[in-house]
């Protein structure tokens, strides 16, 4: 494996669009702090990750040694092998049971609850059956699940798509035993993030992890975990995550253009659906941008207990968002 660094930026993306027109100040450092904290807790539990440390004044340190926020994390690198798009579909034949040192081309998802805005409800409307998710009833928005749902989607395609575990195993060249180990890792990460979120009085509704095989084909957690971008957190039903930005954009004509472009690209077998989108995303409302900025910083402070950011208490930020949302309805 190689050695690399993540430079967490203040950019953000929704609906697979890529960079949006606004930046969220200090978002990058907040994500770096939360992610590093989670990686270190996972390592303490014996779960292998690609995390090596965070950078402060050129030195590699643990997150609890930081004296000020940083947006630079050092990690071990594996190969990213992309499926080839041929004749309107992706070819995964290069992923074999003998391959090692590579990113598994899947997003592995846990769901502890189904808050409003969960993609599960859109999928159910399109024909997904509750039993396909392991449910014995049709769920309602805001429902907490007795047992987590484990979901899986593609990772390296132009547009992520949900697939079955059987298809995931076939595409990624995994054995049945490896699928079992992946689900074990997912449960361990889910449980840890739930504990960490509770310190900030947050519910861990859902989230995703990415995994890789090291040179010995042993699983390790990669990318980033436990942040407001990888997880959907709520506080008494209020979203405390990037979902706030998503909800803002769902109300715009640009979002409708995005959905139409995705449908059209799928029907025509076009790889880059963005070329078919008729409009560009508008900027965030400045007040909402400030609230989201404070939300990232406050969540980082309270989930880690490190208080590295000059931010209001998270409960005060949430209350301000509630007032903002009430004024807009």
Cα 197 to chain centroid, rounded: 15
**Beta pairing class for 59-61 and 84-86:** unpaired
Contacts 24+ apart (CB under 8 A), 87-95: 88/269, 90/154, 90/157, 92/170, 92/171, 92/172, 92/173, 95/171, 95/172, 95/173
Residue 216: predicted pLDDT: 97
Q: What does DSSP assign to residue 227?
A: S
pLDDT at residue 206 in the model: 94
Residue 3 CB contacts under 8 Å (≥ 6 apart), including other chains:
52, 74, 75, 76, 77
CB 224 within 8 A of CB 303: no
Cα separation, 135 vs 57, in Å, equals 50
What does each of the 329 residues of the chain score in pLDDT, given as a tens digit?
A: 999 999 999 999 999 899 999 999 999 999 999 999 999 999 999 999 999 999 999 999 999 999 999 999 999 999 999 999 988 889 999 999 999 999 999 999 999 999 887 889 989 998 889 988 888 899 999 899 999 999 999 999 987 899 999 999 999 999 999 999 999 999 999 999 999 999 999 999 999 999 999 999 999 999 999 999 999 999 998 999 888 999 999 999 999 999 999 999 989 888 889 999 999 999 999 999 999 999 999 999 999 999 999 999 999 999 999 999 998 87
The bridge status of strand 102-103 relative to strand 203-213 is: antiparallel
Phi-psi region of 234 (alpha: psi -120 to 50; beta: other; left: phi over 0): beta
- Count of CA atoms in the C-beta half-sphere (13 A) of 207: 30
pTM above 0.85, yes or no: yes
- Report CA-CA distances (Å) from 24 to 8, 68, 147, 316: 12, 18, 34, 19
pLDDT for 189 equals 97
- Residue 67, token pair as written in the block: 């004296």
Strand partners, 294: none
Choosing among 3.30.470.20, 3.10.20.30, 2.60.40.60, 1.25.40.80, the CATH entry for 2-328 is: 3.30.470.20
**What pLDDT is stored for residue 155 in this prediction?**
95
Q: Could you tell me whether strands 106-114 and 143-154 are parallel, antiparallel, or unpaired per DSSP bridges?
A: antiparallel
Q: Is the backbone of residue 223 left (phi > 0), alpha (psi -120 to 50) or beta?
A: left
**Helix 286-304 vs helix 27-44: angle between axes, to the nearest 10 degrees?**
20
């Amino acid at each position: 494996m190689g050695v690399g660094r993540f430079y967490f930026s203040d950019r953000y993306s929704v609906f697979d669009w890529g960079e949006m027109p606004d930046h969220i100040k200090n978002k990058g450092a907040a994500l770096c702090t939360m992610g590093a904290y989670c990686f270190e807790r996972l390592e303490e539990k014996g779960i292998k990750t690609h995390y090596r440390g965070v950078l402060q004044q050129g030195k590699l340190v643990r997150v609890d040694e930081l004296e000020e926020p940083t947006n630079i994390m050092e990690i071990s690198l594996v190969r990213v092998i992309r499926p080839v798009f041929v004749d309107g579909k992706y070819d995964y034949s290069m992923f074999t049971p003998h391959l090692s040192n590579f990113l598994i081309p899947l997003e592995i998802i846990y769901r502890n609850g189904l808050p409003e805005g969960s993609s599960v409800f859109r999928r159910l409307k399109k024909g997904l059956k509750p039993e396909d998710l392991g449910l014995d009833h049709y769920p309602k928005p805001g429902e907490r699940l007795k047992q987590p749902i484990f979901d899986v989607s593609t990772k390296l395609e132009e547009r992520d798509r949900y697939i079955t575990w059987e298809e995931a195993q076939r595409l990624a060249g995994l054995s049945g035993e490896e699928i079992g180990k992946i689900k074990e890792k997912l449960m361990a990460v889910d449980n840890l993030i739930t504990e960490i979120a509770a310190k900030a009085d947050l519910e861990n509704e859902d989230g995703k992890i990415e995994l890789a095989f090291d040179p010995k084909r042993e699983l390790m957690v990669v990318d980033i975990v436990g942040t407001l971008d990888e997880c959907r957190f709520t506080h008494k039903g209020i979203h405390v995550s990037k979902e706030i930005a998503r909800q803002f954009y769902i109300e715009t004509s640009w979002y409708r253009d995005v959905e139409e472009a995705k449908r059209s690209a799928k029907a025509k077998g076009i790889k880059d659906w963005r070329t078919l989108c008729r409009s560009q995303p508008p900027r965030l409302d400045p007040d909402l941008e400030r609230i989201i900025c404070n939300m990232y910083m406050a969540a980082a402070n309270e989930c880690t207990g490190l208080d590295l950011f000059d931010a209001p208490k998270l409960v005060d930020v949430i209350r301000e968002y509630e007032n903002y949302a009430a004024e807009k309805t």
